[in-house]
C-alpha cells in the first residue's frame, strides 16, 4: 500500500493546487454541506429557509425568490450566476452570522475543526489563511469570492458520488495514476487532509494491520470501498452519504509516506478505481462498477 516519497515531492506536497475551481450546481434533491451553505446564504439575504442540509421545496422557493430579487434567471437551481450573487465576503469581526456559519461549516468540510458559532474569530481567520495558502489563494484571512468558490467546489457529492479528497488536494493526473502492485490507487497527500466517502453506505472502522487506521464502506452501488492510512481512528460510523467526512489522511500502517490508499471490490473482484474517480473529477456519468477493469492499473 506504500507510496514512494518521490511521488510526494513530484506532486508538490504539502499542498497541491489544481485548476481554478468551478461553482457546483446545487438543486432540488441534493443534500449536504453545500446545501446548508445555500440555506445559510439565502437566509442572510432575507429569504429565510431552514438550515437542514436538504434541498427541498422550501429551499427551492427561497432560491427562486432570491433569483427574482437579484434579476437572475429564475430556475431554483444554484449555479455559477446565483452563487456569485449569494456569497458575501466575511472576515474577522464580521457580523453576518449566517454567512460566517456557512464559511465555518465549509472550512470544517476541509478539516478545520472549528466551532460553528457564527462569530468570525481568530481561529476562523487562521483556518481561512491556511486553506487559502494550501489552494494558491492570497492568504488574506477574508473569505472572498475566490475562497468561497474553492471551499464550495471542493467536494461535490453529485449523482451520489464524491471525490475522496477536495479538488484542490490533487490534480486530475493523480486520479489516473497506477498502483504499484494490485488494483487500487494511492493519492499522495499531506497528513491531516480531509478524506470523504466516494459513495454512501455502511461504515466499518479499521484499526491495525497494513491498512493502519481507516474505514471500509459497503456502498449503495454494490461496491466495497476501503480507505487506509488515516492519521488517527476514523470519525465516521454507521450510515454515511457520499461526500461525508470519514477522517484525516496520515501515515499509519504499512506506508513509505503519507497518502490515502483506496481500493474497491465488486462481486468478489478487486477493481481499478481510476476510471470511476476520473469521471467524478470531470463531472461525467460514472461508469458502472461491473465495467471497471480488474487489471491494467499497476506498475
Does residue 133 share a domain with residue 169?
A: no
Query: Does residue 120 form part of some domain?
Result: yes
Q: Is the pLDDT of residue 273 over 60?
A: yes
Identify whether residues 188 and 70 lie together within a single domain: no
- Give the least confident one: 39-43, 67-71, 224-228, 254-258: 254-258
d(CA 253, CA 44): 45
Shared-domain flag, residues 134 and 41: yes
8 A C-beta contact, residue 167 and residue 199:
no
Compute the C-alpha angle 182/186/191, nearest 5°.
Answer: 145
Q: Answer yes or no: is 131 within a domain.
A: yes
Question: What is the average pLDDT across 195-220?
Answer: 95
- Give percent above pLDDT 70 in the chain: 89
Q: What is the pLDDT averaged over residues 275-296?
A: 91
21 part of a folded domain: no
Note the pLDDT of residue 16.
35
Indicate whether 137 and 199 sit together in one domain. Answer: no
pLDDT at residue 135, rounded to an integer: 76
What whole-number percentage of the chain has pLDDT above 90? 63
213 vs 81: CA distance, rounded Å: 41
Q: Give the CATH number, domain containing residue 50.
A: 1.10.101.10
Residue 282's CB is within 10 A of a number of other CB atoms, namely: 10
Q: Give me the pLDDT at residue 157, please.
A: 54
How confident is the model over 105-132, as pLDDT tens digits?
Answer: 999 877 688 999 999 999 999 999 998 9
- Summarised one tens digit per residue, pLDDT across range 180-202 is 999 999 999 888 888 889 998 99
Residues 6+ apart with CB under 8 A from 74: 64, 67, 68
For CA atoms 27, 30, 34, 40, give the dihedral sign: positive
95 and 179 share one domain = no
Any domain includes 298: no
Query: pLDDT (tens digit, 9 = 90+) per residue, 41-98?
Result: 999 999 999 999 888 999 999 999 999 999 999 999 999 999 999 999 999 999 899 9
Interacting residues of 92 by C-beta distance below 8 A, sequence separation 6+: 120, 121, 122, 124, 125, 141
Residue 10 lies in a domain: yes
- Are 126 and 238 members of one domain? no
Single residue among 100, 119, 153 that ends a domain in this structure: 153
CA 208 to chain CA centroid, Å, is: 26
Range of the domain at 10: 5-16+162-291
Neighbours of 213 (CB within 10 A): 21
Host H or E run for residue 286: none
Spatial neighbors of 260 by CB under 8 A, at least 6 apart, are 164, 165, 186, 187, 189, 193, 195, 227, 228, 229, 249
Ranked by mean pLDDT, the top range of 11-15, 24-28, 146-150, 165-169 is 146-150
Cα 255–211–243 angle (5° rounding)? 105
| Bigger pLDDT: 21 vs 15 | 21
What pLDDT, on the 0 to 100 scale, is given for residue 26? 82
Q: What is the CATH number of the domain that holds 204?
A: 2.70.70.10
Higher pLDDT pick, 159 / 169: 169
Is 28 inside any structural domain?
no
- Whether 32 has a pLDDT exceeding 80, the answer reads no
Q: With bands split at pLDDT 50, 70 and 90, how would you rate the model's confidence at 13? A: very low
Residues 78 and 48 in one domain: yes
Task: Report the pLDDT value the prediction gives residue 288, as an integer from 0 to 100.
Answer: 94
Domain limit, last residue, from 106, 131, 153:
153
Q: Are 263 and 243 in the same domain?
A: yes
- The answer on 209 and 183 residing in a single domain is yes
pLDDT of residue 214: 97
Task: Say whether both 105 and 189 belong to one domain.
Answer: no
Q: Is 67 exposed, middle or buried (0-12, 13-18, 19+ CB in 10 A)?
A: buried
Mean pLDDT of the chain: 87
User: Is the pLDDT assigned to residue 104 strictly greater than 90?
Assistant: yes
Q: Looking at the domain assignment, is residue 118 inside a domain?
A: yes
Domain boundary among 153, 172, 191: 153
Residues in the chain, overall count:
299
187 and 217, same domain (yes or no): yes
Average pLDDT value for residue range 5-20: 36
Lowest mean pLDDT among 103-112, 133-142, 256-265: 103-112
Amino acid at each position: 500500500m506504500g507510496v514512494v516519497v518521490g511521488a510526494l515531492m513530484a506532486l508538490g506536497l504539502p499542498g497541491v493546487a489544481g485548476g481554478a475551481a468551478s461553482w457546483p450546481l446545487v438543486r432540488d434533491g441534493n443534500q449536504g454541506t453545500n446545501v446548508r451553505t445555500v440555506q445559510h446564504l439565502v437566509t442572510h439575504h432575507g429569504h429565510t429557509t431552514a438550515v437542514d442540509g436538504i434541498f427541498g421545496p422550501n429551499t427551492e422557493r427561497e432560491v427562486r425568490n432570491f433569483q427574482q430579487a437579484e434579476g437572475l434567471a429564475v430556475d431554483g437551481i444554484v449555479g455559477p450566476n446565483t452563487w456569485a450573487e449569494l456569497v458575501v465576503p466575511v472576515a474577522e469581526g464580521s457580523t453576518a452570522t449566517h454567512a460566517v456559519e456557512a464559511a465555518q461549516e465549509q472550512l470544517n468540510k476541509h478539516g478545520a475543526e472549528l466551532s460553528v458559532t457564527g462569530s468570525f474569530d481568530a481561529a476562523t481567520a487562521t483556518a481561512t489563511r491556511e486553506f487559502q495558502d494550501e489552494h494558491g489563494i492570497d492568504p488574506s484571512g477574508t473569505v472572498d469570492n475566490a475562497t468561497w468558490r474553492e471551499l464550495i467546489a471542493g467536494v461535490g457529492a453529485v449523482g451520489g458520488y464524491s471525490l475522496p479528497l477536495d479538488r484542490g488536494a490533487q490534480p486530475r493526473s493523480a486520479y489516473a495514476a497506477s498502483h504499484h502492485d494490485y488494483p487500487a490507487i494511492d493519492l499522495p497527500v499531506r497528513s491531516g487532509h480531509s478524506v470523504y466517502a466516494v459513495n454512501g453506505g455502511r461504515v466499518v472502522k479499521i484499526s491495525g494491520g497494513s491498512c493502519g487506521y481507516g474505514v471500509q464502506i459497503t456502498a449503495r452501488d454494490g461496491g466495497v470501498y476501503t480507505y487506509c492510512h488515516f492519521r488517527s481512528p476514523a470519525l465516521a460510523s454507521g450510515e454515511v452519504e457520499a461526500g461525508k467526512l470519514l477522517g484525516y489522511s496520515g501515515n499509519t500502517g504499512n506506508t513509505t509516506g503519507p497518502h490515502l490508499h483506496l481500493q474497491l471490490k465488486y462481486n468478489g473482484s478487486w477493481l481499478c478505481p481510476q476510471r470511476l474517480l476520473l469521471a467524478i473529477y470531470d463531472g461525467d456519468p460514472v461508469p458502472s462498477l461491473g465495467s471497471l477493469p480488474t487489471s491494467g492499473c499497476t506498475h
